[in-house]
Amino acid sequence: MEDRKRDHIDLAFSSRLEAKHADNRFDYEPLFGTHHKTEQEFHFAGKKMRLPLWVSSMTGGTKRAGTINKNLAQACAEFGLGMGLGSCRILLDSPEHFEDFNVRPIMGNEAPLFANIGICQLENMLQDGSSDKLAELVDKLDADGLIIHINPLQEAFQPEGDQLKRPALELLQEYLENTTMKIIVKEVGQGFGYASLKQLLQLPIEAIEFAAMGGTNFSLVELNRSDAVAAEVFNPFIHVGHTAEEMTHMVNKLVDELPLEAIQAKQLIISGGISSVLDGYYLTSISKLPAFYGMGSAFLRHAMGDYSKLRAFVEKIDQSWSLATNFLKVKQA
């Protein structure tokens, strides 16, 4: 006890926080809550989650990716999280990578799992009439549906990138008329602007995933692999985009403006630059549509080694959600 007290004196001087670093989104209200764990249940795509938290995986097709996906799936099983796989394009050509993506046996059947494919692959399949392969893929993975990611800048910045010949919106509309699968539409790191969100909200989809600016930006990933001239000239495009908070406000505005019956998208997955439980707590609280929050690289950083490391991380996440709901109150705008 003597030692802990001495620590307190020394730590006191270094344990101050300048007001300019304050998080003004919340009131801190320590008088009304307790330390009891909050028990909640969330429903999505016919499945069930225990935290409103979505794991956005970003990888597949390598041995390291296999380990990562298995760790993430185990955390989903233990803590009741939903999960979206990284791009499964490789499986269409190289089925030998199947095991890297085959997480349903680990994850169990309670929580939702989605496969993932790019808009250019969809265009190619629609063009040559092979889009049934997507349903087969989802079936083989025992997934609950398919994420379609929209990435025209990423493709443009790749020397070998695919070319969109028709607008993404047309392709989505055509595909949705011809499939019964549950679909999530997401961006790849720069989010969607107002006009795009307005259209997406009116599509019969399971969710819009933001993949907003602030998180991993796959157009920037490509530029970081490019030659110097491409990196210089294209770089300004990377700075265009929409943050998760901005997008949440845009969707709220659209919810107010659109006729109720026009909104067919069921919910949001607010991802892209969500760096803490508090970001997720804030944005899901202010959203007028039902919403989960999603994290990608935060999970990835803890998922590359032994499962016990990831487990310790998600356990604190779980506890943080309880503390937030007990002691923090979202400020009215």
Site for its own copies in 241-260 (CB under 8 A): 241-243, 245
318 by DSSP, 3-state: which? helix
> Exactly one of 110, 127, 136, 195 binds its own copies (CB under 8 A); which one?
195
**133 contacts its own copies (rule: CB under 8 A):** no
Residue 177 found at the interface with its own copies (CB under 8 A): no
Residue whose token pair is 């070319």: 163
> What is the Cα–Cα distance from 220 to 63, expressed in whole angstroms?
24
Task: Report if residue 67 touches its own copies, rule: CB under 8 A.
Answer: no
Alpha helical stretches, state H, 116-206: 119-128, 132-140, 152-157, 168-177, 194-201
333 binds its own copies (CB under 8 A): no
> For residue 97, what is the DSSP state?
G
Which of 137, 191, 205, 292 is in the footprint of its own copies by CB under 8 A?
A: 191
The rounded radius of gyration (Å) of the Cα atoms in the chain is 21
Type of residue numbered 106: I
Applying CB under 8 A, among 127, 178, 264, 316 the residue interacting with its own copies is 316
3-state secondary structure (DSSP) of residue 40: coil
DSSP 235-284: HHHHT---BHHHHHHHHHHHHHHS-GGG-----EEEESS--SHHHHHHHH
- For the bound state, the minimum distance from the C-beta of residue 103 to its own copies, rounded and expressed in Å, comes to 17
Q: Which is nearer to its own copies, 112 or 120 (CB)?
A: 120
Report the site for its own copies in 97-116 (rule: CB under 8 A): none
Nearer to its own copies (CB atom), residue 269 or residue 303: 303
Burial of 153 per CB tally in 10 Å (0-12, 13-18, 19+)? buried
Q: Which of 299, 196, 321 is nearest to 247 (CA)?
A: 196
Q: 71 to 100, contacts with its own copies by CB under 8 A? A: 90, 94
The residue within the footprint of its own copies, chosen from 92, 164, 181, 263 (CB under 8 A), is 164
Q: Does 66 sit near its own copies (CB under 8 A)?
A: no
Choose which of 66, 82, 118, 189 interacts with its own copies (CB under 8 A): 189
Of 280-299, binders to its own copies (CB under 8 A) are 296-297
Considering only the stretches 136-144, 165-173, 252-260, 285-293, report the one whose residues sit in contact with its own copies under the rule CB under 8 A. Answer: 165-173
Show contacts with its own copies in window 4-63 (CB under 8 A). 5-9, 11-19, 21-23, 25-36, 58-62
Judged by CB under 8 A, the number of residues near its own copies is 114
Q: How far apart are CA 272 and CA 289, in angstroms?
A: 18
> Within 10 A of 320 (CB to CB), how many other CB atoms are there?
15
* Least distance between its own copies and beta carbon 140 (Å): 20
